[in-house]
Amino acid sequence: MIEPLRDSLTQFISSGNLKPLSAIILTLAAYQFGQFCYQRSNRLMLFHPVVIAGCIIAATLFYFDISYQQYRDGSQLFYFLLGPATVALAVPLYQEFRHIRQLAKPILITVILGATIAAGSAVLLGSVMGAEGEVLRSIASKSVTTPIALGISDKIHGISTLTTGVVVATGIIGALLAPLAFRLCALDDPRLQGIVLGLNAHGIGTAVAFEKNASCGAFSSLAMGLTGAFTALTLPYAIHFFGI
């Protein structure tokens, strides 16, 4: 009885005509359930909607033997919306422009150093653990927001699925550890907290930053955007220079 049900659901999920609709429904349903869990847990990061939704979608794809590429092809709408959503972050940046201009120099230095260390440490740690070639190129952009990371991964011939997983994991871990890091470093300024979240946890960190306040979110958006731009401009050349 279970096998026929599984076969029919698999056909529904992977059907050529229904695949985009079913992928969208799956994504929205998983995210809404994750949002419910997040609110019920009093915003505990372990129950962040991205974590819950990601687990549900991964389990569904695994159980029904659906490849990630099929799911990605069916959910192109969300991938398309990632770009405009990222650009829309310019609104809070504009609102905080006066404060940002005052801190322009230290922000730029922090982002350049942070982005360089983020990519370099990922490649170095991967090399120490025995990773080579495609894997190293795929994890190098781990601290860049998803739409930019996927573009970089394609350009440097990485594995887009691995890049997506590493980027999401980096965002979740960064957002989870950020409160502890802030306490240990006595970092109370929301602007500095925003820079840290945007630089290390990109999109997920920025979402958490906006939950704190608008100023924290604006600085997180700035750090995320600058990190993405700097990495996109420099990483392909660095990969070629070091022969990775």
DSSP assignment string, 47-106: G-HHHHHHHHHHHHHHHTT--HHHHHHHTHHHHHHHHHHHHTTHHHHHHTHHHHHHTHHH
Tell me the CA end-to-end span of the chain in Å, nearest whole number: 51
* DSSP 8-state assignment for residue 146: H
pLDDT in tens, the chain (244 residues): 445 545 555 555 544 443 667 788 888 899 999 999 988 988 887 788 888 888 898 888 888 877 777 787 777 787 777 777 767 777 776 777 777 778 888 889 999 999 999 999 999 999 999 888 899 999 998 888 888 888 899 899 888 888 988 998 898 888 888 888 999 989 899 988 999 999 989 888 888 898 888 888 888 988 988 898 899 999 999 998 888 8
User: Where do we find the tokens 């819950």?
Assistant: 52
Nearest alpha-carbon partner for 119 in 131, 107, 137, 145:
137
CB 26 within 8 A of CB 57: yes
182, 171, 164, 183: which is closest to 208 by C-alpha? 171
What span, in angstroms and rounded, lies between the C-alpha atoms of 200 and 116?
A: 12
